[in-house]
Amino acid sequence: MVEHGVSASTQNQALSALVFLYRRVVLQPLPRIEGFTAATRSARLPVVLSENEVRALLARLRGSVHLCCALMYGAGLRVSECVSLRLKDVDLDRSEITVRGGKGDKDRRTPLPRMCRTALIDQIGRARTTHALDATHGVRTTGLTASLQRKYPNADRDVPWQYVFPAARTFTDANGVRRRHHLHETVLQRSVRAAAVEAGLLKRVTCHSLRHSFATHLLESGADIRTVQKLLGHDDVRTTMQYTHPMNRGALGVRSPADRL
């Protein structure tokens, strides 16, 4: 696999598959090989957009996709955290969003951007209307664990648990229950790629670039790195420190000697 130049994660996935095969199927666990270590991922700097680039990107998006991308940039949300927001997790009075079960199954709070407030109120109204129609046809929401359903039997039918960004279509699950999932992540991913091309951006822009930009722009504006760490939900501040590298001060914050010529 090394000869084929595959990524470290692919190599480790293949290794895990072989270990599982011998341990669970062949029932002959592989002996440990001295000096053999798992492949390590190379360090990569995040792709960060400038404020002008973010503005150009958002200007080419419409509707719920525009709102989702504005939230990913304005609140530092991952794409999965954005599309899976539930009505109960948006606090308009306190202007904050609660992310439930983020990466590492951690909860956190992040600010609700003022620029998103009006559009978000309208989106919540549309989500409530969709739920009212679904309720008459017995359509329920998704993503609730079995233990939560036992504790709150009607949770998948109650308004607070409905998605802010519901999918356009419903489906029937394995138990024959009609359900409505949230907006699929690929809808945002395709839209962001198309908008980046239309805007003429030369960087490799993804949905996660908006979260990278959120962190970098906060640090550039003077925010404390510990605060940014909490807003992003990082366990280790060293993960947050990667955003100090692409800050608008040159590489590693130094001035090029060419600027003195």
Q: Write down the pLDDT at residue 77.
A: 96
pLDDT by 10s per residue, the chain, length 261 = 556 667 777 878 888 888 888 888 888 887 877 766 776 766 678 899 999 999 999 999 999 999 999 999 999 999 999 999 999 999 999 999 999 988 888 899 999 999 999 999 999 999 999 999 999 999 999 999 889 999 999 999 999 999 999 999 999 999 999 999 999 999 999 999 999 999 999 999 999 999 999 999 998 888 889 999 999 998 888 888 888 766 655 555 566 665 666
What global pTM score does this model have?
A: 0.82
- Distance from C-alpha of 88 to C-alpha of 178, rounded to nearest angstrom: 22
- Distance from C-alpha of 136 to C-alpha of 78, rounded to nearest angstrom: 33
Q: Write down the pLDDT at residue 258.
A: 57
- Distance from C-alpha of 205 to C-alpha of 216, rounded to nearest angstrom: 15
Q: Write down the pLDDT at residue 241.
A: 83
Q: Write down the pLDDT at residue 13.
A: 86
What are the catalytic residues?
78, 103, 208, 211, 234, 243
Residue 163 φ/ψ region, left for φ over 0, alpha for ψ in the -120 to 50 degree band, beta for the rest? beta
The gap from C-alpha 67 to its chain's centroid, in whole angstroms, comes to: 14
Query: What domains lie within the chain, and their CATH numbers?
Result: 1-42 (no CATH), 51-244 (1.10.443.10)
